[in-house]
Amino acid sequence: MNNQKKQTGQDKIYAMITDRIIEELEKGTVPWRMPWNGYIKGFPQNFTSKKNYRGVNIFTLKLAMRSTPYWITFNQAKQLKGSIKKGEKGYPVVFWKFLEKKDKDTGEKKNVPLLKYYTVFNLDQCEGIELPEFDQPETRKFTPIEQAEKIITDMPNKPTINHNEPRAFYRPAADMVNMPKKELFLSDAEYYSTMFHELGHSTGHASRLNRESEAKNHMFGSADYSREELIAEITASFLCAESEIENETIENSAAYIAGWLSKLKDDKKLLVQAAGKAQKAADYILDRKFENNN
């Protein structure tokens, strides 16, 4: 008796996309870029002192992908009769200066560097503080892609979807996907590819495929985290194929996948294993029956 699973037409599509990703990986990693205009123009600035942040803080605060250039400490927000929104997490800002110290043995004075850090919040994480005008990121006209829109609309038991922050993420505790505004994306196809990635993450929720129970370590960069990123991105590639937009997104997807594979020692077997779980995720989003095997 042949126990091998019979390959359906849908399986062949998934296999074809997996093979295309592997083909792109074998060409070498192309630089993956964030496919939306999310950077605020100018330097991050402390809202109270009006001073620009310097050094590494410029990069860390810009990479936080918040929607304003203004940052503030908890106490500064309180002094302005404002508050930090419930559940918001701050970002560390580092600074250093030289302190003059006297050597106990020789009496010689030395300048010793002192490194400290404190926590700041973006003004979009605050309530009760009036936001001044600032240069907004560039936008473009967004044209919906009917097939991709239908996939999102028809997903069963889908998470809440918001377009509040210029960041793309899935928050399991709230079962919520946040996306940048559609007009910020560099192309319509990249909006849907990014949305599909986050919906792929959402299928791991306990109310869906429950991949959360399989992961022992949810820390960024861990093996479990990296595998989940592979699953989400391959899910996005499958759904892009369903929407007939994979040709516009495959290189970015392959580069993103390559980055996570490098953390897993570039083991292509892991890609195939992740593709199996991604197939289940895509089938769930498309409301298709799937075999519950690994």
pLDDT tens-place string over residues 55-89: 778 877 876 778 888 999 999 999 999 999 998 98
> CA angle, corner 53, sides to 113 and 133, nearest 5?
165
* Residue spans per domain, the chain: 9-36+137-285, 45-127
Chain mean pLDDT for the chain: 81
Phi then psi for residue 54, to 5 deg, are -125, 170
Residue 61's Cα: distance from chain center in Å? 15
pLDDT in tens, 236-265: 989 999 999 877 777 777 777 777 777 666
Residue carrying structure tokens 């009006």: 50
This prediction has a pTM of 0.67
At 4, is the pLDDT very low, low, confident or very high (cuts 50, 70, 90)? Answer: very low
Q: Which residues pair with 176 in a beta bridge?
A: 160, 171
Query: How many distinct helices (H) and strands (E) make up the chain?
Result: 8, 9
More confident residue, 169 or 31: 169
